[in-house]
Amino acid sequence: MKKSQFRSPLYPYLLLLPQLSIVVIFFYWPAAEAIRSSFYLEDPFGFSSTFVGLDNFKDMVLRSDYVATARFTVIFSVLVTFFSLATALLLAVTADRVLRGASTYKTLLMWVYAIAPPVAGLIGIMLFDNLVGPITEFFRTIGWDFKLGVNRFDTAFAMITISIWKQIPVNFIFFLSGLQGIPKSVQEAASIDCKSTLRRFWTITFPLLAPTGFFLLIINITYSLFDTFGVIDVVLKGEPGNNPVTLVYKVFLDGFRGNDLGGSSAQSVILMVLVLILTVFQFRMIERRVHYS
């Protein structure tokens, strides 16, 4: 590590100040504020607040709708993460077989990445539209009376499918570049050592993709927990009614629709802790495992 000498001991801190103030103002302050208000009961008009200790948390975990939402969030995250990773891997492996050397084709495939996520989400919702959606139309021809926003299961199905669909290109590109990073000669050596293509995939290709895969796993869990907010909001059109939502969406609903700022803050504190655990886990794992070369 190179050491630099500064004339004044304050100078380096001055250089750090802009970045630090952004972090403090936009991340730590709101977080601290959320933690503070999770211990208070605020009246809907914001005139007064009463310290209630852990009552908000107690309230939250005892309410059946919170537990149901948490359960749905887990199912939602597992399905979205698993299917977006698995589909992307399958597509990447298939593309990789054709792509060795064909760089124009690769560039074309990469373009998918350039489509803005909200646009992709909107297109997805149009496909599931109750009146004009081709997928809805297709489901009806095979006898599934698909009703987005009316039937709980149908809504959840659309939310999950669109979330998976939107995430596949990102995963695909990472997997593809991961696959292309595996030396050709290693694959060739494996083809001499092992006849079965499938077995070769699981014993050579898959382990060598593990660093990419692990990174994507964390990215996808985060995505399915937090970044799917937009998709869910567009699907529900802001009116959840009886439909399932994820924890992040519930924070928004209770806080801004229900005006329960204290309860909403308590929920977001729980989510913060979740992210913290996830981050620690990620750094631990990345340190410990999956570095070859």
Partner 1 sequence: MTKVVIDKVRKVYPNGTEALSPSSLDIAHGEFIVLVGPSGCGKSTLLRMIAGLEEITDGTISIGDRVVNDLDPAERDIAMVFQNYALYPHMSVYQNMAYGLKNRGRSKPDIETAVSKAAKLLHIEEFLHRRPSQLSGGQRQRVAMGRAIVRDPSLFLFDEPLSNLDAKLRNQMRIEIRKLQRELDVTSIYVTHDQIEAMTMADKIAVLNTGRIEQIGTPSEIYHKPASIFVASFMGAPPMNILDGKYNGNGGVEVADLGQLTIDHALKTTGKVQVGIRPENVEIRTEASQNTVAIKIDFLEELGAGRLLHTMIGSTPFIAHLDNEHPIDSDNIFAHLPPQALHLFDAETGQRV
Residues lying near partner 1 in the complex (CB under 8 A): 183, 185-186, 188-196, 199, 203-204, 207-208, 210, 292-293
Question: Is the CB of 96 or the CB of 260 nearer to partner 1?
Answer: 96
Residue-wise over 227-257: b if at least 16 C-beta within 10 A, else e? bbeebbebbbeeebeebbbbbbbbbbbbbee
Rounded to whole angstroms, how far apart are CA atoms 208 and 178?
Answer: 8
What is the smallest separation between the CB atom of 194 and partner 1, expressed in angstroms?
4
What is the smallest separation between the CB atom of 82 and partner 1, expressed in angstroms?
23
What is the smallest separation between the CB atom of 153 and partner 1, expressed in angstroms?
42
State the number of CA atoms in the 13 A half-sphere of 274 facing the CB: 16
Rounded to whole angstroms, how far apart are CA atoms 219 and 279?
Answer: 10
Residue 233 host element (H or E)? helix 229-236
What is the smallest separation between the CB atom of 119 and partner 1, expressed in angstroms?
38
Question: Is the CB of 270 or the CB of 285 nearer to partner 1?
Answer: 285
Question: Is the CB of 4 or the CB of 293 nearer to partner 1?
Answer: 293
Position 267, amino acid: Q
| All residues at 6 or more sequence positions from 165 whose CB lies less than 8 Å from its CB, including other chains | 120, 124
State the number of CA atoms in the 13 A half-sphere of 219 facing the CB: 14
What is the smallest separation between the CB atom of 92 and partner 1, expressed in angstroms?
19
Indicate the SS3 state at residue 45: coil
Question: Is the CB of 91 or the CB of 210 nearer to partner 1?
Answer: 210
Question: Is the CB of 84 or the CB of 205 nearer to partner 1?
Answer: 205
What is the smallest separation between the CB atom of 213 and partner 1, expressed in angstroms?
13
Question: Is the CB of 147 or the CB of 200 nearer to partner 1?
Answer: 200
Residue-wise over 32-63: b if at least 16 C-beta within 10 A, else e? eebeebbbbbbeeeeeeeeebeebbbebbeee
Rounded to whole angstroms, how far apart are CA atoms 83 and 289?
Answer: 24
Question: Is the CB of 130 or the CB of 191 nearer to partner 1?
Answer: 191
What is the smallest separation between the CB atom of 174 and partner 1, expressed in angstroms?
19
